[in-house]
Amino acid sequence: MAANYLPYEPQQMMLLPETLQEWLPEGHLAHFISDAIDGLDLGAFHARYDRDGPRNQPFHPAMMVKVLVYGYATGVFSSRKIARKLHEDVAFRVLAARNFPAHRTIRDFRALHLKELSDLFVQVVRLARELGLIRLGTIAVDGTKVKANASRHKAMSYAHMLKTEAELKAQIAALLNKARAADEAEKNEPELDIPAEIARRQDRLDAIAAARARLEARQSEADTERGRSDDDDQRPRGPDGNPKGGRYSRAFGVPKDTAQDNFTDPDSRIMPRAGGGFDPAYNAQTAVDDTAHIIVAAELINNASDARELPAMLEAVKNALGVYPEQTLADAGYRSEAMFQALAGRTELIVAIGREGKGHRAISDVSLPLTAAMVHKMKTPEAREAYRRRKWLAEPPNGWIKNVLGFRQFSLRGLQNVQAEWKLVCLALNLRRMASMRCG
């Protein structure tokens, strides 16, 4: 006896049209993102198109924002992949409402509205507070290294720059001499487009010279912060300006031979990666509220050290929500006397003095009084109990970004661009978290 299956007619046409919302189950992430973005102020996006007049018909900014945010919230960051998903993925089709922007349109929209997209992060944080998911009782601040959109093989050390510059100059000089040689002497030489060869080497020489200038400018800034000057004759000087003995190993503004610069993304820096090795990367910072693991501040720098970032993170929290958190947890990477002084009276700080499981050097009560006070505070049971929550609170969002969303490398290049993209990533993660908390 033949089985009695439920009806299956792939070619059957619908007699009555369905609403797009019926294509997805109730409570789907796409519905939540659509409703959330409809509640945000997108006036800055619309303002870019108002001056073009009524004849211009771009894609609706709300649709483009929803598609981009949903893409980042589900691990789809490439404009080409998003454009493909608009045809293949039901959730993307529901959000786009039968619009199919090309990948270049998606790419250009993201590039044109980077500031507006990053500003939406603050609106989402305020929305989370309205939903009761942020209370600012305790926050934890942490940093994570995210790979830049740059190749390790497109970088060069300062010493190699000097060597390569000399070689290129010699090659260019040899080619110029060859070009000046008599026609008779060239008859026995292989055919060579000398002007093109000179231009190619000159372009390479110019790129290396620009990279070397960037390294030297950064080193000059670092030396100035250390109290050096360009006329110090490599001799350390005291507060009175007189030499105090010893010599600097390098002249003012001269980088180490191992200092590197990347040609594809000059704003990136060589930073250590987990598991060993080094990559061109950025240092991404997050401040996480303990109520529902919502990221309340997301900043990014191109310095591997976290030591100066805690005041900036807390100012970002205050700018977004109007107040400082009651308590702030941070690891030893944020510790500095200047930081303790800058944040005195703003929030209760609980900052580790040394790495977990390792000791630290003795700290003077005279030269570093605030750091010494934190040493004594971290010995109390209350501080130790509070600090135990730091890892549970600060590190999961960074893990979700890298392992759940799959965001391990920036799509954009340049410090300002990746700062905006980092906020877009954190915005998308917050909305995903808010959707799951609401369903829960």
Indicate whether 117 belongs to any domain.
Answer: no
One domain, residues 416 and 343:
yes
Answer whether residue 22 shows pLDDT above 60.
yes
Of 219, 242, 262, the last residue of a domain is: 262
- Domain span including residue 225: 154-262
One domain, residues 291 and 389:
yes
| Greater model confidence, 361 or 278 | 278
One domain, residues 344 and 397:
yes
One domain, residues 408 and 282:
yes
One domain, residues 71 and 140:
no
Residue 329's nearest CA partner among 68, 75, 141, 169 is 141
pLDDT digits (tens, 9 = 90+) for 59-72: 999 999 999 999 99
CA 188 to CA 290: how far, in whole Å? 78
pTM of the full predicted structure? 0.85
Q: How many domains does the chain have?
A: 3
Indicate whether 229 belongs to any domain.
Answer: yes
One domain, residues 255 and 295:
no
Of 262, 291, 309, the last residue of a domain is: 262
Lowest mean pLDDT among 46-50, 255-259, 394-398, 413-417: 255-259
Indicate whether 13 belongs to any domain.
Answer: no
Which distant-in-sequence residues (6+ apart) come within 8 Å of 4 by Cβ?
Answer: none
pLDDT digits (tens, 9 = 90+) for 90-127: 999 999 998 999 999 999 999 999 999 999 999 999 99
- What do you get for the CA distance between the two ends of the chain, in Å? 47
Answer whether residue 439 shows pLDDT above 70.
no
pLDDT of residue 188: 58
Indicate whether 224 belongs to any domain.
Answer: yes
Of 220, 243, 262, the last residue of a domain is: 262
Count other C-beta atoms under 10 Å from residue 397's C-beta.
24
